[in-house]
Every structure is written in C-alpha cells, then in structure tokens.
C-alpha cells in the first residue's frame, strides 16, 4: 500500500510546479494517504490477462480536408497574455537560476 | 400568475413553438429570463456572468429574421435562450472555469458547441458556476461562490455543474450546457430535479471545452424535460474535424425517440436493473422513488431484468487514478506564460520562469485542484505507472465488458443517478472520499464512454429530488431517450404536472 511522506509530497509539489505551503503539505499527506488506501483495490482485479483501455472509443486517424483556414491573428493570440512586448510573449528568464 | 412567471415556466419546446407561431418574440423571452435572473441570483448564485447585451442582440437578430419571413429552415429551438457552463469557451465573454488562474480571461474563439448554439439562433444568457476546473461534486470548490440548490438554499446543487443545474431548476433559463467527466451533468441534475444527459463520448465535440480529463470529459444538455434535452443534444451533436475524438457519424434521432416515448408504450423493451448500483450507501428515500419508477416502466410494458456488472464496484477507485492523471497533464498548460494569471515569486527569490510558475500555480489553483494534480503526478511517476495507471486502465476494460454483457440481456440499463439527495453545505468538504462517493453511480458510463441520463424520479422523504438514471449502448443515445420520456410522462401523469410544480420559488412569487 502506498503511503505518502512529507518529503514525497514536497517532491510532487516541485514536479507539479506548485509551491505548496507547510500547512498544505501536511493536509495533503493525510488526504492522499486515505485516497491511496482506497485506490489500491484496483490492483486486485487488474490481472495480466486483461488488456488496458486508454480511450473508451476506438480512435482512428481521420484526416481533415487540406484546406487553407484563417488562424487567430497575432493580436488575438497575445490578447490574454500577462505581459507582451513587440508582438511577443514576455516570460521571466529561464537561465541563471542555479 | 404573472406573464413572466408563465413564460419562464414553459418548457424549451413550448417556448420554441410560441416563437415559431409568432405569439412571443425571442426578446420577450430573454427579457423575462433576465428578470428572473435578477430576482433569483441573490438566493441561487448560479451565474458567474450574465451576458445581458449579447443575449438581447442575438434575440433581436432572430426576431428580425422571423419578421422578414425567412423561416423556412428555422432551427427548432431558435430564439430559446441557453446558459453555458463556464468550462466552455465563449468568444468575447470571460471564461474562468471558476478558477482564479483564469479570472478575467476572454477567449478569442468559440467552442464548437457555442458556434452551434449561435447558428441555431439561441441567445446565450451567460456563464454558469462550477467546481473549479469541473473538479468536485457540490459546486463548493468554485473559486468565486457556491451555488445554492433551488429546492433548499441551505444545500448544495451537486457538482461540478451545479450552476447549470440550478439555473435551469430555478427557471433562470430553460436550457444549459454542462460537461460530464464523472457525473458532473447527471449528479447535479439528480440533486436539483432537472434532466441531465451525458452523450456518447465523441458524440458531441469537445473543441473549446476546457480539458479536465480528456478520455472522460463530455459536453451535454441540462433541461427541465426529456424532449428539451433531446432537442438541445441534436443542436450541439455531430462530427467535428477539430476534435480528434469526435465520431464521424450523424446525430441519432433523439427528439423522435423522446416523442415516441411520450406515448407511454414500452412493449417489447428490456430494461436491465444494475444490481451493483443499489443497496448499501443508497438513501432509503432514493431507493423508494427508484423502485416506484421501475414499477411504472413495467406498467408500460417493459420487461425488467436484473443484470450484474461486477466490476462497477471498482469504477470509482479506477476513476480516481485515471482522472487525476489526465488532470495533472491537462492543467500543466496554466503556467502564467501565455494567458491567465501570472504571480511573480516573492522578493529574495530568483525571478525565473520555474519560480514564477510555482508561485502562479500555488496562488491560482484551489485545494481540490492541487490535490488532484499531486495525486495524478504520483500515479504517472516512474515506478508507480504500471501499478496504478496501468491497473486502472485494465479496470476500464472490465467495465466496458460489463456493459457489453449487460446490453446482451437488456436494451437499456437503469439505476439511481445519485446515492443520496442534496447534502448540506460543508458536510463533505473535509472528507474527499465521502465527496467522491457522490459520483459512484455515474462514473461507470464515463469509464465506458456510454451515454447516460438522469431524470427526476420524485421527491425523497426529505422533500428533495431524486434522480433516475438510464444507460444506453455507445452511439445509441436514442435508445435511452424513449424510456426516459415514457417514465417522465407516467410520473407527470401521477403528479399532475412536472416535478417543478412542487418547487417553491419566492424569487418569482414574491416579486
């Protein structure tokens, strides 16, 4: 049975890019342990002979007609951005953190 | 009774008939609904935004078309207003998914279903409240407000589509769209005495429906009658090349099936009662109303047989692996870069992209969303992927097989839609498992991609609505519309009118 430690929750928070507070880490630990306990029951019936199903409807690759369409304009694509400059998204630096 | 009250209590199909007959205009209808919204919202809180001006403009455009005599191809629901769950994007109208991370975002495009509403001449009255990113079973997880149940404003309307269900139940609008990932249309419909339908997965385009769990999400109608749901599903359904999971087949004849059902003859139909969706955990009053409904189906000529779906008891647990896994992946797009909220890290912290993302997502997401993202990331992580996610996908296979076996014995399957009636605010907020159990009867249909619907079965001993659920085979949505309409007709004959006649509406009566 899976049990979540404080360190694991912190690590998962890092992976999720969510800066969890100490209070949240403690609360999540308790809740996720209860949920994990209930979830382990799926392993009881998932035998090797059962194939997994990722999507309920069989997916086929349908090709759409190759027609020219008008996409969003640059202004429309940028309209919801927190910060823009010279027709581009402005993002904080990605280098130099460590 | 005021004319406003008379007007808004009509079904959508009755409203449409009056518009076609030029007895009322679409503007009159929209104005009447806006009047009810103004009066009801302080008690109900169903809407996150009312798009008053746009709705009136759309109504006027339709009225102008009718006045010009251009009515040959007039869609059946033309002129009838509709509300849209705020999980579905609307061009020029803010769409938030009830999350702070999208607060104020105005989409530059319409979802396919919204385009279809507009093409059908249906004015969009506004955006309805939901649990944040459709994650919850009570609409208490909205970042903005909790919607109230019109039958008892001290109780939840269910979730995540509580806003759509309450808006329709309270006569603020005759029709609404919802999204159903684990029961988010049907469970709130059950709790508010409305009709809610989850179509076959792939039967209605999800283009522009904000993704929560992509292999489970489905857009569908909320209404006060089975025929109205059928008419709305016919408007929004059909193939869409912009959705890679859309089924390239036409919409089945749903309204025809509903009209057939209203004749109350089910001779030759086999109805399968799902053994695993009753008993422990189901409120006695819910079971009592359900059993009365079963008897009525038999009285109309249906043969009721018991069917066993042994893996349904694993559906909830498997769902709570698959759904958060897909949530963690889908919600990765909320990174503060291109749209939505951006929160810079506190002073003394490196102002990098990674730190900005962490600060933004910490501030922008609510507790339930964080819980599910963390759970999903764990389920998908190295070392656990096969044991958790792989096992859950196998359970999905077993549930699909259960449905296939059951549909060899019966044309449709039935169960209560929710194990309980509406619960009080706060009652399940600190107990995620208890909250998750709210969807125990609805989840199997999402796992299998099958269509399912909830219709009102009457009031439990506590005076609150009970939902009666029908399941049909994949891509055969019309099959459930017939017995659902028949049961609705039989119940209304017994009650002397629709269930809503018993709803006290001080926001209408006390004006």
What are the tens digits of pLDDT across the range B334-356?
999 999 999 999 999 999 999 99
Residues of chain B in contact with residue A9, where contact means CB-CB under 8 angstroms, are 374
Taking the model in full, what pTM does it have?
0.97
- At residue B387, the pLDDT reads 86
Query: Where are the strands (E) in B51-121, listed by range?
Result: 82-85
Percentage helix, strand, coil for chain A under 3-state DSSP, each rounded to 5: 40, 5, 55
Q: Which residues 413-472 of B are in CB contact (within 8 Å) with A?
A: 432-433, 446-450
Pair of tokens at residue B419? 């194990």
**Exposed/middle/buried for residue A55 (C-beta within 10 Å: 0-12, 13-18, 19+):** middle
**Tokens 């009830």 -> residue:** B98
Of B399-413, B449-463, B493-507, where does mean pLDDT reach its minimum? B493-507
Contact between A50 and B398 using a beta-carbon 8 Å cutoff: yes
- At residue B151, the pLDDT reads 98
In this prediction, residue B511 has a pLDDT band, given cuts at 50, 70 and 90, of very low
B245, B358, B391, B473, best to mutate vs chain A, most A CBs in 10 Å: B391
Question: Packing angle between helix B12-20 and helix B226-236, nearest 10 degrees?
Answer: 70
In this prediction, residue B366 has a pLDDT band, given cuts at 50, 70 and 90, of very high
Contact between A97 and B355 using a beta-carbon 8 Å cutoff: yes
Contact between A34 and B392 using a beta-carbon 8 Å cutoff: no
Tell me whether B270 touches chain A (CB under 8 Å).
Answer: no
CA–CA distance from B47 to each of A72, A83, B7, B154, B173 (Å)?
Answer: 29, 29, 20, 18, 11
Distance in Å, alpha carbon of A33 to nearest chain B alpha carbon = 10
CB atoms within 10 A of CB B478: 21
What sign has the CA pseudo-torsion B13, B18, B19, B24? negative
Q: Which residues 399-418 of B are in CB contact (within 8 Å) with A?
A: 400
ω before B178 within 30° of 0 (cis)? no
Could you tell me if B152 and B187 are in contact, meaning their C-beta atoms sit under 8 angstroms apart?
Answer: no
Whether the per-residue pLDDT at A2 is higher than 70: the answer is no
Comparison of pLDDT for B487 and A43, the residue scoring more: B487
Q: Which residues 95-154 of B are in CB contact (within 8 Å) with A?
A: 105-109
In this prediction, residue B305 has a pLDDT band, given cuts at 50, 70 and 90, of very high
**Minimal Cα distance from B447: which residue of A?**
A56
- At residue B510, the pLDDT reads 47
Tell me whether B248 touches chain A (CB under 8 Å).
Answer: yes
Contact between A97 and B354 using a beta-carbon 8 Å cutoff: yes
Whether the per-residue pLDDT at B396 is higher than 60: the answer is yes
Query: What region does A34 belong to: left with phi over 0, alpha with psi -120 to 50, or beta?
Result: alpha
In this prediction, residue A43 has a pLDDT band, given cuts at 50, 70 and 90, of confident
Pair of tokens at residue A50? 């059962």
Tell me whether A55 touches chain B (CB under 8 Å).
Answer: yes
The strand pair at B82-85 and B124-128 is best described as: parallel
Q: Which residues 2-31 of A are in CB contact (within 8 Å) with B?
A: 2, 4, 8-9, 12-21, 24, 27-28, 31
**Minimal Cα distance from A43: which residue of B?**
B391
Percent share of chain B, pLDDT over 90: 93
* Cα A64 from Cα A79, distance rounded (Å): 28
Contact between B356 and A92 using a beta-carbon 8 Å cutoff: yes
CB atoms within 10 A of CB B347: 6
Whether the per-residue pLDDT at B400 is higher than 70: the answer is yes
Contact between A34 and B344 using a beta-carbon 8 Å cutoff: no
* Cα B300 from Cα B403, distance rounded (Å): 25
pLDDT digits (tens, 9 = 90+) for B100-147: 999 999 999 999 999 999 999 999 999 999 999 999 999 999 999 999
């Amino acid at each position: 049975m899976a049990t979540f430690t404080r360190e694991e929750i912190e690590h998962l928070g890092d992976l999720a890019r969510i800066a969890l507070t100490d209070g949240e880490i403690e609360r999540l630990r308790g809740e996720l342990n209860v949920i994990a306990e209930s979830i382990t029951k799926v392993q009881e019936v998932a035998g090797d002979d059962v194939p997994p199903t990722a999507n309920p409807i069989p997916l086929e690759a349908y090709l759409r007609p190759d027609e020219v369409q008008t996409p969003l304009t640059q202004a429309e694509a940028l309209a919801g951005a927190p910060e823009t400059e010279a027709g581009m998204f402005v993002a904080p630096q990605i280098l130099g953190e460590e | 009774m005021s004319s406003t009250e008379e007007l808004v209590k009509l079904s959508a199909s009755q409203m449409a008939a009056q518009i076609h007959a030029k007895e009322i205009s679409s503007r009159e209808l929209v104005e009447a609904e806006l009047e009810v919204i103004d009066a009801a919202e302080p008690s109900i809180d169903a809407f996150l935004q009312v798009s008053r001006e746009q709705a009136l403009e759309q109504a006027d455009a339709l009225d102008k078309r009718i006045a010009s005599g251009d009515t040959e191809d007039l869609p059946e629901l033309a002129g009838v207003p509709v509300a849209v769950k705020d999980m579905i994007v609307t061009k020029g109208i803010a769409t938030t998914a009830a999350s702070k991370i999208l607060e104020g975002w105005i989409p530059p495009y319409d979802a396919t279903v919204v385009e279809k509403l507009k093409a059908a001449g249906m004015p969009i009255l506004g955006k309805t409240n939901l649990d944040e990113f459709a994650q919850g079973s009570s609409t208490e997880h909205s970042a903005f407000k909790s919607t109230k149940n019109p039958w008892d404003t001290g109780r939840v309307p269910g979730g995540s589509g509580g806003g759509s269900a309450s808006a329709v139940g309270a006569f603020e609008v005759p029709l609404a769209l919802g999204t159903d990932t684990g029961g988010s249309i049907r469970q709130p419909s059950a709790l508010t005495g409305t009709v809610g339908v989850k179509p076959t997965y792939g039967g209605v385009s999800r283009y522009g429906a904000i993704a929560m769990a992509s292999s489970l999400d489905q857009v569908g109608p909320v209404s006060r009658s089975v025929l109205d749901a059928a008419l709305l599903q016919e408007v929004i359904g059909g193939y869409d090349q912009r959705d890679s999971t859309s089924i390239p087949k036409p919409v089945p004849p749903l309204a025809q099936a509903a009209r057939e059902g209203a004749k109350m003859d089910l001779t030759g139909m086999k109805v399968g009662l799902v053994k695993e969706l009753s008993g422990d955990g189901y409120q006695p009053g819910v079971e009592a109303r359900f059993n009365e409904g079963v008897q009525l189906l038999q009285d109309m000529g249906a043969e009721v047989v018991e069917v066993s779906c042994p893996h349904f008891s694993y559906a909830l647990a498997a769902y709570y692996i698959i759904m958060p896994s897909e949530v963690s992946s889908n919600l990765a797009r909320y990174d503060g870069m291109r749209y939505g909220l951006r929160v810079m890290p506190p002073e003394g912290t490196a102002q990098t992209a990674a730190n900005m993302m962490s600060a933004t997502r910490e501030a922008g997401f609510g507790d339930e969303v964080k819980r599910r993202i963390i759970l999903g990331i764990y389920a998908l992580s190295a070392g656990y992927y096969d044991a958790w996610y792989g096992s859950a996908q196998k359970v999905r296979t077993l549930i699909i097989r259960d449905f296939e076996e059951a549909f060899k014995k019966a044309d449709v399957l039935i169960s209560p839609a929710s194990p309980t009636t509406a619960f009080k605010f706060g009652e399940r907020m600190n107990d995620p498992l208890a909250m998750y159990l709210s969807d125990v009867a609805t989840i199997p249909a999402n796992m299998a991609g099958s269509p399912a619907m909830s219709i009102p079965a009457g009031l439990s001993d506590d005076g609150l609505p009970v939902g009666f659920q029908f399941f049909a085979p994949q891509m055969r949505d019309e099959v459930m519309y017939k017995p659902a309409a028949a049961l609705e007709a039989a119940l209304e004959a017994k009650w002397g009118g629709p269930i809503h006649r018993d709803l006290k509406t001080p926001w209408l009566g006390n004006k």
